[in-house]
Amino acid sequence: MDALGAPVLVLNANYEPLNVCDVRRALGMILSDKARLVINGRGHIHTVNALFDLPSVIRLENQIKHPRPRVKLTRREVFRRDKATCQYCGRRAPTLTIDHVIPRHLGGEHVWTNVVTACSACNHHKGGRLLSEARMKLLHQPKEPPASAVYIFGRHLEANTEWQPFITGW
């Protein structure tokens, strides 16, 4: 991976995790005095006139207000929430699909509590029917995943272990 494209954890002034940006953006914020380096986990970058630390974690100079984080309803996040497992039969099939528990043509909405992962066979068996009509049951009731820092930024922790104290503390 390009050193300037590596992920950097951005903390609010009170050390609350806010976002993930790349090294290029983080260096820009540091050089414009909008942020300070907290952890240099990647070494240095040499320019003609200077030597800069490559940040792994930065902290904003000023506290910013931001809305409560929410996990966006995307296909990838539904698979992540359901651990890539069919919610009807429990198989970890290579070809999973998204199924609406209450079909959209019957008034079901595209919301966290109405979408689950399903293998092709279960999705085909259920078709456009309700669970009771198809004589099927859900293994787990679908719900919105927690908007905690561990859930939102957790996928980055394996490659960036130095982030752990900042993420698990929130």
- Classify residue 134 by its DSSP letter: H
**47 and 92 assigned to the same domain:** no
Residue 168 lies in a domain: no
The helix/strand/coil state of 32 is coil
**16 and 45 assigned to the same domain:** yes
- Which helix (H) or strand (E) element contains residue 119? strand 115-119
Residue 162 lies in a domain: no
58-111 pLDDT per residue, tens: 999 999 998 888 888 999 999 999 999 999 999 998 889 999 999 999 999 999
pLDDT attached to residue 1 = 53
**81 and 57 assigned to the same domain:** no
pLDDT attached to residue 169 = 65
Residue 36 lies in a domain: yes
Q: How far is CA 9 from CA 2, 46, 158, in A?
A: 17, 22, 13
pLDDT attached to residue 71 = 86
pLDDT attached to residue 93 = 84
Q: Who has greater pLDDT, 90 or 165?
A: 90
pLDDT attached to residue 26 = 94
Q: How far apart are CA 160 and CA 2, in angstroms?
A: 15
Give, in degrees to the nearest 5, the angle at Cα 157 between 24 and 98: 100
Confidence of residue 51 (pLDDT cuts 50, 70, 90): confident
25-50 pLDDT per residue, tens: 999 999 999 999 998 877 888 888 88
Q: How far apart are CA 56 and CA 42, in angstroms?
A: 7
Residue 158 lies in a domain: no
pLDDT attached to residue 39 = 87
Of the residues 28, 62, 96, which one is the last residue of a structural domain?
62
Q: Who has greater pLDDT, 137 or 164?
A: 137
Residue 84 lies in a domain: yes
Kindly report the CATH number assigned to the domain that includes residue 120.
1.10.30.50
**47 and 99 assigned to the same domain:** no
Provide the β-strand partners of residue 57.
9, 39
Centre a 10 Å sphere on the Cβ of residue 2 and count the other Cβ atoms it contains: 8
Reported for 118-121, long-range contacts at CB under 8 A and 24+ positions apart, including other chains, are: 118/86, 118/87, 118/88, 119/86, 119/88, 119/89, 119/91, 119/93, 119/95, 120/93, 120/95, 120/96, 121/89, 121/93
Residue 153 lies in a domain: no
Count of domains observed in the chain: 2
Instruction: Inform me whether the pLDDT recorded for 170 exceeds 70.
Output: no
Centre a 10 Å sphere on the Cβ of residue 109 and count the other Cβ atoms it contains: 11
104-136 pLDDT per residue, tens: 999 999 999 999 999 999 999 999 999 999 999
Residue 8: which domain range?
Answer: 1-62
Instruction: Inform me whether the pLDDT recorded for 150 exceeds 60.
Output: yes
| pLDDT averaged over every residue in the chain | 89
% pLDDT > 70, the chain? 98
